[in-house]
Structure 1
């Protein structure tokens, strides 16, 4: 359906990838993966047609409709939510508007009457009579209730605008879906809904995602941007990791054997090339050397941070207790009679739909917000450190990476600060990088660096994976699993929740569900809790 021929992209002397030849075939679902900065977003823009490669071309089969997830928050501000979704099928939308115009006429000419007949036929062929129902179904599946469908897009906050734009591209039922981070701003339930929708969609998909569980569930192939090339693997993400690791290990082993063989042959040639009786043998060995191939192994763009959380002091039994806590913002009651008792060793995932109050709960527990009523009590030995969701508010723009981290411990020596920054992939001169120009991933790693420096025994994290690549998420997951203190975290990354949480706290409109056990077990029993 899409053919990529001889694509290369370079910026000056920097090569992102070269000589890419790929075929995206009907019905397959491709996960486009790679480290931050490797070039996957650039490659997606080439597929979309928004970026011109240095060399090569992209061709789409005749008649194939391509749907692209756009992230322009303001393009549809003057349109209603429902109309924005309906615009996802341009041909149908055009017929709908023309049909409405003609029906609104006081009277029609014979020609206009004939035109209405043609429009009705086209409208029926494109399932126009069920279009609004399908659009509403998509919006509800993505967590936008019916009473919002008639609102203007300008009234929707950013995360919900993106949900509408996702519904728009899904509504068009295109032959090819190009989706860049479709799970951004979605809660766990909505991601599960999207997984099921995509699994039932018959079209071809190319998806950029840093959500390992999503990639494993949805994708049939992985398209990996690394080593200045783009390679395709059959299977989901976990299969790709195993297969690519094995392939690289085999290549390294083969090169090692070949280098050893070359060394042996060179030794023979050096020893006997001047010996007349063995000159032919030496010449033969020299020819063998020339035939042995040692393949070039380019350095990977994947680099994982080294994360190991340690605590300055042991944590006692009591971590934090919330008793009858309430918090409102005007008429919006966010926290209602919250009662929690978190103990040493608990690794608590706080989940719930967007806007339900997860961040408010963390901020209230930590004293960033005062409760309207109720009591928060921390254990005497508890020393929490906080990874905030909004890095822009946490990291000022008028400092450097080194200076900001140093501000949390004036007594730390330069080597300790540099060591932590190095572990977070800030090397050499990058420690003096201005915080104003940090990428989302760099800001997230710097926040983790702060937690490493402060050595708290309670780690509190609000959406820590939002800007991290898969390698960094994997490193963070393993570090949280190994941490001997307590962890309280909000995340929409299912793999992180499944791998780390020993306790689930879900905020619902009816109150809190507090389940002691892993997420998979919670899902099995969840309907029982909701019914109660």
Structure 2
């Protein structure tokens, strides 16, 4: 299907990867993973044809249709939502347009009539009669209701435009699917739908994702960009982690054993090379040294932050109570008569479809929005700290990493601040980096650094994993699960919700579902709860 031969990419003196030889075979689903900056996005751009490699070739089997998830929000602004999806099959779309043009003619010539016959045959061969139904089915699966299908793309907000573009690439039923972060801006239900769809799709896929559960569910192979190489492993993400860790440990152990053997042999050679009676043995041992191979162990581009949340003071039973909360924006009622009481030690996942009001709920809870009615009461011992979804509103662009963190505790000494920033992978001079040039991942880690400094006993987080790599998400997940205070969080990362939450609050159009238990337990009972 796809053959990569002797591929190398370098920028100046920096090598991203070199001498890559890979084969992506029919029907397999490959997860493309690697630390931020390792080169996985560059590799995907090479496969797509948007970037030229330094050396080597990429060959896609002739005749195959390739579908690429594009992130251009504005390309289709003048098109209907449904038409944008139909354009995902260019040949069918061309036939549909020409067919429509001919049928709209007041009269047809004989030649045009014959042309219509040809188009009808091609239209039928490409399942044209069921095309609009399939396109609508995709849109609904991705959370875009029927009443929006005839709207212009320009009326859709960014996250929903990306859903339409995802429906577009899926509609074409391509032989090869190249997807860069397809779960971005999707809620948990929609991700579950996408997982199911991709499992039924027959084509070959290459997918970049930071969603561990998604990779484990969908992928048959992992393609890892690290150590200036690209390596392929059979199995899902968890298998890859176990296998790659074991392989590296074995390599380190083998090198250590060989280095110990070399040291012993060199000692013998040094002692007896001048001794005539043992000169032959010394020469033999020198030859043994020359044959022992020490494998090169390149430094990994993966680094994990060290996250351990602690609190300044114990947390009592009463954390926060919301009573009869109402919140509207114009004619849109977002929160209606919400009543919740959250207690010490609970790990609460707030879930629901995009736009249902999850962020509004957290902002109201944290006092960043005033409710139109009702009250929010925090327990006396509660000290909440907040990871907001919109980092730009939280972190000004005219300061440095160090100064911004220090603004939350001007009594903290330099060593404490540098230690926290170091744990969040801001080392040495990076602490003086301007906040204006921070990447999404760096900004998210800086927000976590603030929470570590404040040592609140209630952690409130709104989509904390959006810009984090897999290593950082794993570190955050473990830290939240181990925290002995209360956690209230919104997330579309299934693994985070599964591993951390012991209470699920789902916002629905018909009200709030409040379930005490894990997310897996909630899914088992969800249908009956929704119908209640």
> Structure 1 length normalisation: TM-score?
1.00
Give 1:167 deviation, angstroms: 0.1
Match of 2:258 in 1: 258
Match of 1:131 in 2: 131
Can you list the C-alpha shifts for 1:205-263, whole angstroms capped at 9, x where unaligned? 00000000000000000000000000000000000000000000000010011000000
Separation in 1 of the partners of 2:55 and 2:466? 33
Match of 2:89 in 1: 89
Separation in 2 of the partners of 1:390 and 1:36? 20
Q: Is 1:305 paired with 2:284?
A: no
Separation in 1 of the partners of 2:71 and 2:20? 27
Q: Which runs of 5+ in 1 are unaligned?
A: none
RMSD between superposed Cα atoms in Å: 0.4
Match of 2:398 in 1: 398
Match of 1:461 in 2: 461
Match of 1:354 in 2: 354
Separation in 2 of the partners of 1:226 and 1:509? 45
1:308-319 to 2 correspondence within 5 Å? Answer: 308-319=308-319
Structure 2 counterpart SS, 1:459: strand
Give 1:330 deviation, angstroms: 1.0
Give 1:76 deviation, angstroms: 0.1
Separation in 2 of the partners of 1:504 and 1:207? 29
Query: Which stretch of the first structure deviates more once superposed, 164-173 or 309-318?
Result: 309-318
Structure 2 counterpart SS, 1:282: helix
Structure 1 counterpart SS, 2:515: strand
Match of 1:119 in 2: 119
Match of 1:285 in 2: 285
Match of 1:20 in 2: 20
Match of 2:521 in 1: 521
Separation in 2 of the partners of 1:13 and 1:514? 56
Can you list the C-alpha shifts for 1:464-505, whole angstroms capped at 9, x where unaligned? 000000000000001001111000000000000000000000
Separation in 2 of the partners of 1:144 and 1:201? 21
Can you list the C-alpha shifts for 1:285-335, whole angstroms capped at 9, x where unaligned? 000000000001001000000000000111111000011111111111111
Structure 1 counterpart SS, 2:382: coil
Give 1:57 deviation, angstroms: 1.1
- Runs of 4+ residues deviating >3 angstroms: none
Give 1:410 deviation, angstroms: 0.6
Match of 1:501 in 2: 501
Structure 2 counterpart SS, 1:341: strand
Structure 1 counterpart SS, 2:364: helix
Match of 1:149 in 2: 149
Separation in 1 of the partners of 2:143 and 2:38? 33
1:62-461 to 2 correspondence within 5 Å? Answer: 62-461=62-461
Separation in 1 of the partners of 2:36 and 2:424? 14
Q: Which runs of 5+ in 2 are unaligned?
A: none
Separation in 2 of the partners of 1:226 and 1:391? 29
Structure 2 counterpart SS, 1:506: strand
Give 1:353 deviation, angstroms: 0.1
Match of 2:50 in 1: 50
Structure 1 counterpart SS, 2:91: helix
> Structure 2 length normalisation: TM-score?
1.00
